[in-house]
């Protein structure tokens, strides 16, 4: 992860034609962008292709980024729009939101593929109790580490609504956990 000022400096390098700026952003967010695409497309090859396209688009659209405007929100908006466009162009249905497969910050080098699969199944089961909108908000806040304000901008929803839906979703999950339904 990069701070806003580090990201702003990397974008400035891109604007000046320095590919090092793109490499810095790729190193910080390449895996996260790939996981976001995979969670929406459910296909490794498509996710890899879109990840490559994403960074080409980032290179081309660096001039549209406004420094200090919150880079995570900007990156997520681009990726989300690319995934939706891809699904529409390919004639595939837009899937209901599902959790990211991996959270790189929470996983260690020693985690096995089996652990990843179990984690994904648990997350899918847990989030299946929520509406599609609640799932998306929970994912964006927890997995993508976006603030409620950033989520509100991306989803074009009022900030209060996003915060309320998140709290409501977490409350539902806590209640289900107490009742033993999330086991």
- The predicted pLDDT at position 123 comes to 65
- Give every CB contact of residue 4 below 8 A, 6+ residues apart in sequence: 67, 68, 70, 71
Lowest mean pLDDT across 35-39, 64-68, 143-147, 158-162: 143-147
Q: Please determine, looking at this structure, whether the domain spanning 1-95 carries the CATH number 1.10.1740.10.
A: yes
Is-contact 62 8, C-beta < 8 A? no
pLDDT of residue 107: 32
Instruction: Categorise residue 180: left if φ over 0, alpha if ψ from -120 to 50, beta otherwise.
Output: left
Per-residue confidence (pLDDT) for residue 13, from 0 to 100 = 96
Residue 108 pLDDT class (50, 70, 90 cuts):
very low
Name the segment(s) of the chain with CATH classification 1.10.1740.10. Answer: 1-95
The CATH classification number of 97-183 equals 1.10.10
Kindly tell me the burial class for residue 118, based on how many C-beta atoms sit within 10 Å of its own C-beta (0-12, 13-18, 19 or more). Answer: exposed
Q: What is the pLDDT of residue 110?
A: 35
Q: Where in the chain is the domain with CATH 1.10.10?
A: 97-183
Following CA atoms 167, 172, 173, 179 in sequence, which dihedral angle do they give, to the nearest 10 degrees? 150
- What lies within 8 Å, CB to CB, of 64 at 6+ separation is none
Q: Which has more pLDDT, 3 or 100?
A: 3
């Amino acid at each position: 992860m990069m701070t806003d000022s580090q990201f702003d400096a990397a974008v400035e390098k891109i604007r000046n034609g320095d590919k090092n700026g793109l490499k810095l952003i790729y190193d910080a967010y390449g895996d996260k962008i790939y996981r976001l695409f995979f969670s929406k497309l459910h296909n490794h090859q498509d996710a890899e292709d879109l990840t490559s396209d994403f960074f080409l688009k980032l290179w081309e659209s660096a001039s549209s980024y406004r420094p200090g405007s919150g880079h995570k929100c900007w990156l997520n908006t681009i990726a989300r729009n690319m995934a939706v466009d891809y699904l529409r162009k390919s004639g595939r249905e837009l899937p209901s939101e599902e959790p990211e497969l991996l959270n790189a910050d929470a996983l260690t080098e020693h985690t096995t593929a089996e652990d990843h699969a179990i984690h994904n199944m648990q997350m899918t089961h847990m989030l299946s109790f929520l509406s599609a909108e609640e799932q998306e908000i929970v994912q964006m806040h927890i997995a993508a580490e976006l603030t409620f304000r950033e989520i509100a901008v991306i989803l074009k929803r009022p900030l209060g609504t996003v915060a309320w839906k998140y709290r409501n979703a977490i409350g539902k999950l806590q209640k289900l956990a107490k009742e033993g339904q999330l086991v």
